[in-house]
């Protein structure tokens, strides 16, 4: 149990509001958090003075304040997720001899933030700052498989939303749904030759405190290399689980 209950409640309240789609009434916050209304009002007033929440008098609701935005922006400036993931990728590369990546979703693309590769490894297209169609990459599909179906449908409404690089990969929303369902059940994703002929990748997603996939860790090796994809997948799942833990996240069902 915390020795600073007021601080713990204030942080819980911030997370509670951050997980909601919009401002809420104090009574709804109290009910959702299981706290007395009087305690919630005191917390809200104190947090409003510091700018972490703001009161909308016309709506009689409370929302996140600019100070909460500043904290989030500072986290991004400090390269938070990259700092947390970099040693995990380095360890993966050392233990497997594969090229490791950290990717995030950027619309319907995978954006690569980090890359660790072993000495003398061939140059891959998946460099830092490169964006590739998410439905073709193992990293992208690992995250797509954990998103609500409606969100995936919005990203891929029809066949014209699909591109290919090597003639392989899903071409319709139905094909993508089937692949995501299978990969979601197994807990990791794989692509073989869909990004670059002769290379396969496996990936697993890391989640935030809401269980939302925010990044994916992947390993890439030549397709001809005598290695079992499942063995590599076990490594990336462990690494993604550790990244989730470091971000104080949770794994959604």
In a domain, 152, yes or no: yes
Same domain, 182 and 228: yes
Residues 233 and 157 in one domain: yes
Q: Is the dihedral of CA 122, 132, 216, 128 positive or negative?
A: positive
In terms of domains, do 151 and 67 share one? Answer: no
Q: With both helix axes pointing from N to C terminus, report the angle between 80-96 and 229-246 in degrees, rounded to the nearest 10.
A: 150
In angstroms, the Cα distances linking 195 to 47, 76, 84, 144, 216 are 48, 29, 27, 17, 16
- Are 97 and 189 in the same domain? yes
Are residues 108 and 141 part of one domain? Answer: yes
Question: Into how many domains does the chain fold?
Answer: 2
* CATH code: domain of residue 34: 1.10.10.10
Q: Domain check: are 86 and 209 in the same one?
A: yes
Mean pLDDT of 155-176: 91
Verdict on whether the full-model pTM lies above 0.95: no
Mean pLDDT, rounded, for 84-113: 93
Q: Tell which of 42, 57, 73 closes a domain.
A: 73
Question: Which range, of 39-53, 70-84, 143-157, 182-196, averages the lowest pLDDT?
Answer: 70-84
Region of 211 (left: φ > 0; alpha: ψ -120 to 50; beta: rest) is left
Q: Are residues 164 and 229 in the same domain?
A: yes
Q: Which of 73, 89, 105 is the last residue of a domain?
A: 73
Residues 118 and 230 in one domain: yes
**Do residue 65 and residue 150 come from a single domain?**
no
Instruction: Please tell me the predicted confidence (pLDDT) of residue 1.
Output: 44
Short-list 206, 208, 202, 234, CA closest to 220: 202
- Is 51 contained in some domain? yes
pLDDT 10s digits, 69-82: 777 666 555 457 88
Judge if 227 and 120 occupy the same domain: yes
Determine the structural domain holding residue 62 and report its residue range: 5-73
Window from 115-124, 148-157, 233-242 with minimum mean pLDDT: 115-124
Same domain, 36 and 51: yes
């Amino acid at each position: 149990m915390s020795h600073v209950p007021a601080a713990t409640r204030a942080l819980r309240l911030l997370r509670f509001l951050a997980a909601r789609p919009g401002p809420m009434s104090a009574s709804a916050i109290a009910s959702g958090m299981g706290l007395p209304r009087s305690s919630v009002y005191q917390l809200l007033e104190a947090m409003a003075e510091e700018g972490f929440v703001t009161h909308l008098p016309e709506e009689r609701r409370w929302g996140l304040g600019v100070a909460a935005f500043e904290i989030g922006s500072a986290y991004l400036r400090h390269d938070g997720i990259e700092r947390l993931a970099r040693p995990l990728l380095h360890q993966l590369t050392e233990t497997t001899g594969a090229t490791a990546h950290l990717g995030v979703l950027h619309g319907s693309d995978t954006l690569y933030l980090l890359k660790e590769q072993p000495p003398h490894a061939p140059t891959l297209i998946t460099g830092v700052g490169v964006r590739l169609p998410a439905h073709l990459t193992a990293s992208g599909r690992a995250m797509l498989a954990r998103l609500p179906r409606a969100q995936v449908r919005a990203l891929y409404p029809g066949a014209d939303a699909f591109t290919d690089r090597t003639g392989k990969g899903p071409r319709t929303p139905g094909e993508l749904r089937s692949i995501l369902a299978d990969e979601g059940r197994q807990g990791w994703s794989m692509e073989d030759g869909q990004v670059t002929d002769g290379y396969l990748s496996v990936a697993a997603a890391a989640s935030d405190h809401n269980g939302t996939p925010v990044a994916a860790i992947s390993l890439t090796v030549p397709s001809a290399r005598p290695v079992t994809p499942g063995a590599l997948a076990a490594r990336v799942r462990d690494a993604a689980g550790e990244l989730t833990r470091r971000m104080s996240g949770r794994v959604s069902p």
